[in-house]
Amino acid sequence: MTSHVPVAPDHVVTVDDEGRRTGTFERAAVHTTETPLHLAFSCYVLDDAGRLLLTRRALVKRTWPGVWTNSFCGHPRWTETTEESIVRHGRHELGLEIADLEVAVPGFRYRAVDASGVVENEICPVYTARAAGPVEPNPDEVVEVAWADPQDVARAVAATPWAFSPWMVLQVGALAVATPTGGGATARLAAAFGTATV
């Protein structure tokens, strides 16, 4: 079984409106009712059969606990690229090795407020990847996983957006109109989300 090493000392990288790094903030304290703009990422992972990995956020999460979302999300550290952060988080949250990582929606940004008043405020490029191994969820991060047909996912998001993270709801729409540069996971998701009844 994979050992999930804690990602401490953990922090987020704060940015200005143009995305320039301005400093760091302790991750455990950053999400409040006045969360500063910071860097993040979202990753959508497909298996070789073209199924999309969905995860249900752990019940101990500060924001949107227990909500279904994309494969995984995270925050780059000051000393790493977004791509390095994605590889690290894939291993930490899901015990998962990924391949064929590509940026799908580089300029994605959102702000959302959950029922408790806690704010997410992120510049959050969206990536896609292929699973290169099994999934072994870290219970501190993920309470449940599911592999699903991307068209079914897009239809479910359209029918019951309240059951999914607000960033995923927005990202499914953005991925549906993404312009893939190759024939990888981004192209497959764009085709599936674009043709779904949404």
**Residue 193 and residue 161: Cα distance in Å, rounded?**
15
- Annotated ligand binding at 136? The verdict is no
43 is catalytic: no
> Residue 144, annotated ligand binder?
no
92 is in an annotated binding site: no
Q: Which of 26, 97, 122, 144 is catalytic?
A: 122
The greatest distance separating any two alpha carbons of the chain, rounded to the nearest whole angstrom, comes to 43
Sign of CA dihedral 124, 126, 130, 131: positive
Those residues whose C-beta lies under 8 Å from the C-beta of residue 11, and which sit 6 or more positions away, are: 24, 25, 26, 27, 75, 77, 78
| Bridging pattern class, strands 126-131 and 98-105 | antiparallel
93 is in an annotated binding site: yes
Is 136 annotated as catalytic?
Answer: no
| 89 annotated as a binding-site residue | no
Q: Which two tokens stand for residue 37?
A: 């703009």
Q: Which residues contact 9 (CB under 8 A, 6 or more apart)?
A: none
Q: Which of 18, 26, 34, 73 is catalytic?
A: 73
Q: Tell me the binding residues for Mn(2+).
A: 31, 38, 75, 120, 122
> Which residue numbers are catalytic?
73, 122
Q: Tell me the binding residues.
A: 31, 38, 75, 93, 120, 122
Q: Tell me the binding residues for Mg(2+).
A: 93
